[in-house]
């Protein structure tokens, strides 16, 4: 059976002007946010490019060809992120050879790559982090909580949106060539 590779992109969001910490997560204060990812399930995601924490440019269309992308919204100051980072790092390594790419996306305008790199080193984490300081990707997905995860298939279509804790099921389904049994869940940040 031919395995189809998938890219998993994980996005972490904290928009300073529109978000705050609350019970360990980040929520937007305004309710006039753009249409969210739930309404895009099954649709092709628009192409974007961001620089990662090492200075390399990541472009969705170039990296997602034949790869599953898992995006999780994340930041260094979020308590709910601390609860899932080790598991995320483990999954990124586990699925790497199975054609899935796990990425955190830091949409916190107050964090820079140096701060992120110091945090990763201190906490012995090796996952890549896309720097979304203007929160454009977070806004595109309508992400209001950190640890919200989007799974994008090898054709660039959004196949799962919701809690990181439920994303593994979607990744396994897609790698096995199946439809995603549970395409959305309630984000928890």
SS3 174: helix
**How many separate domains does the chain show?**
1
Residue 20: the pLDDT is 33
Is 110 domain-assigned? yes
- What is the C-alpha R_g of the chain? 15
Is 1 domain-assigned? no
Is 17 domain-assigned? yes
Is 150 domain-assigned? yes
Residue 108: the pLDDT is 84
Q: What is the CATH number of the domain that holds 47?
A: 3.40.30.10
Say how far apart CA 140 and CA 147 lie, in whole Å: 16
Is 189 domain-assigned? no
Is 185 domain-assigned? no
Domain of residue 97 covers 13-175
Is 7 domain-assigned? no
SS3 139: helix
Say how far apart CA 55 and CA 59 lie, in whole Å: 13
Cβ-Cβ contacts under 8 Å for 63 (sequence gap 6 or more): 7, 69, 101
Write b or e for each residue in 124-158: b if 16 or more Cβ atoms lie within 10 A of its Cβ, otherwise e.
ebebbbbbbbebebbbbbbbbbbbbbbbbbbebeb
Is 6 domain-assigned? no
The pTM (predicted TM-score) of the whole model is 0.80
User: pLDDT tens, position by position, for the chain (189 residues)?
Assistant: 433 333 334 333 333 323 333 333 333 333 333 456 667 899 999 999 999 999 999 999 887 778 999 999 998 988 888 889 999 999 999 999 999 999 999 988 889 999 999 999 999 999 999 999 999 999 899 887 888 999 999 999 999 999 999 999 999 999 999 999 999 998 877
């Amino acid at each position: 059976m031919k395995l189809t590779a998938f890219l998993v992109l994980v996005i972490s969001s904290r928009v300073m002007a529109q978000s705050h910490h609350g019970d360990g997560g980040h929520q937007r204060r305004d309710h006039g946010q753009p249409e969210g990812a739930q309404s895009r399930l099954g649709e092709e995601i628009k192409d974007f490019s961001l620089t990662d924490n090492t200075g390399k440019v990541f472009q969705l269309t170039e990296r997602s060809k034949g790869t599953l992308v898992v995006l999780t919204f994340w930041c260094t100051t979020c308590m709910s992120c601390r609860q899932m980072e080790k598991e995320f790092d483990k999954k990124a390594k586990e699925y790497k050879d199975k054609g899935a790419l796990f990425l955190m996306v830091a949409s916190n305008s107050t964090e820079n790559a140096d701060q992120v790199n110091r945090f990763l080193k201190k906490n012995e984490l090796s996952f890549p982090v896309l720097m979304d300081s203007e929160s454009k990707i977070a806004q595109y997905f309508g992400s209001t909580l950190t640890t919200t995860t989007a799974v994008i298939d090898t054709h660039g279509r959004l196949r799962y949106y919701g809690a990181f804790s439920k994303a593994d099921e979607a990744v396994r389904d897609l790698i096995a060539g199946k439809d995603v049994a549970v395409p959305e869940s309630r984000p928890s940040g």
